[in-house]
Amino acid sequence: MEKKSSVSRIGVLTSGGDAPGMNAAIRSVVRSALARGIEVVGIRRGYAGLISGDIFPMDGNSVSRIINRGGTILYTARSDQFRTEEGMQKAVATCKLLGLEGIVAIGGDGTFRGASALASYGVSVVGIPGTIDNDIVCTDYTIGFDTAANTAVECIDRLRDTMQSHERCAVVEVMGRHAGYLALQVGVAVGATAVLVPERPYSFESHVADKIRRARLSGKTNFIIVVAEGAASAVDVGEQIRQEMGLDPRVTILGHIQRGGAPTVKDRVMATRMGYEAVRLLAEGKTNRVVCAKGEQIINRDIMEGLAMEKTLNPEEFEVMTVMTGK
């Protein structure tokens, strides 16, 4: 039997870019809350829905058979109005009107900054990290990363078949505007000839041309170049390869296909564990917290302290990638 909760009604929302596993997190929040006797309302379209009052009551049936679905049943949106004092006041007014004593916000760093702002007005908030970029500094893992990486790997494996058949070069752009975690792991997993990440200043000669030359000298006749969108333009990289190396590359931008699809086991389990922890924190009267993964452990941190932490690429993974490329 769960302990008596310090809150009686909470809301759950998803904000920013969608990520596979968000539905599993929503499901976990609802079922964990109901087990504690806490009412739950779903807030559609993130903070925009909180401002407009676009909400509906949720029960066990609301989240049946969604653990395997990609996307988010609550929809997601970014709200410029929420960043204004007027918009914030409207959001707080909605919470007061509906008796929402806590909010679980699922998303990235922008989502958490919005949640922390709400906390300053007396609304209890807990964030759950959901982004395929895995770029939330305070947690080792974010919901959606594993699924996105597997989707990209599957796509590149299919491309490789054609590149081998035609003895060609493929330049594949994956998501990662400010972080190269996705590109790094995908590049290692597919045996890429070269991997470009935002954390390392781009040099065509040393990071692409030299890698292709060494691969060709070792006997390879097809090449896979994985590019994080924030590291360089895949189109520009392909054009440089054509002009400076005489190859005929094919450029593929995977884009939003990486956001969709059924979540993997890891994303379903992590989302479920994080949703449970978020409700536990609210039930115990905690606020301004973000649920984090530390290895296999689920912990929590102060939101703003967590966002201020520095996160860098795993040096061991980066070294492995460097050794494995160009061969």
74: CATH: 3.40.50.450
Residue 93: partners with Cβ closer than 8 Å, 6 or more residues away: none
Catalytic residue check, 157: no
Asked whether residue 153 falls in the same domain as residue 138, the answer is no
- Start-to-end Cα distance in the chain: 57
pLDDT at 230 over 70: yes
Distance between CA atoms of residues 303 and 96, nearest Å: 23
Asked whether residue 70 falls in the same domain as residue 205, the answer is no
Question: Does 315 map to a domain?
Answer: no
**Model's pTM, two decimal places?**
0.94
How confident is the model over 273-308, as pLDDT tens digits? 999 999 999 999 999 999 999 999 999 999 999 888
Q: Average pLDDT of the chain? A: 94
Asked whether residue 14 falls in the same domain as residue 128, the answer is yes
Asked whether residue 72 falls in the same domain as residue 37, the answer is yes
What percent of the chain clears pLDDT 70, i.e. is strictly above it?
98
Tokens 């692409």 found at: 208
Question: Does 3 map to a domain?
Answer: no
Query: How much is the pLDDT for 317?
Result: 82
DSSP conformational letter for 214 = H
Task: Please count the structural domains in the chain.
Answer: 2
Neighbours of 305 (CB within 10 A): 11
Question: Does 2 map to a domain?
Answer: no
Exposed/middle/buried for residue 61 (C-beta within 10 Å: 0-12, 13-18, 19+): exposed
pLDDT at 105 over 60: yes
Distance between CA atoms of residues 279 and 262, nearest Å: 24
User: For residue 287, what are its two tokens?
Assistant: 């606020």
Average pLDDT score over residue span 88-103:
96
pLDDT at 31 over 80: yes
Beta strands in the chain (DSSP E): 9-14, 39-43, 55-58, 102-107, 124-129, 169-174, 194-196, 223-228, 250-253, 289-294, 297-302
Tokens 């049946």 found at: 64
Q: What 3-state DSSP class applies to 56?
A: strand
pLDDT at 327 over 70: no
Give the CATH number, domain containing residue 156: 3.40.50.460
Choosing from 54, 59, 109, 133, the catalytic residue is 133
Distance between CA atoms of residues 173 and 238, nearest Å: 11
Q: Rg for the chain (alpha carbons), in Å?
A: 22
pLDDT at 2 over 60: no
Question: Does 326 map to a domain?
Answer: no
Asked whether residue 138 falls in the same domain as residue 267, the answer is yes
Closest CA to 25 of 197, 293, 273: 273
Average pLDDT score over residue span 75-94:
93
Average pLDDT score over residue span 255-275:
97
Domain range for 30 = 9-144+263-308
Asked whether residue 74 falls in the same domain as residue 222, the answer is no
Angle at 78 between CA 73 and CA 79, to 5 degrees: 120
pLDDT at 1 over 70: no
DSSP conformational letter for 229 = T
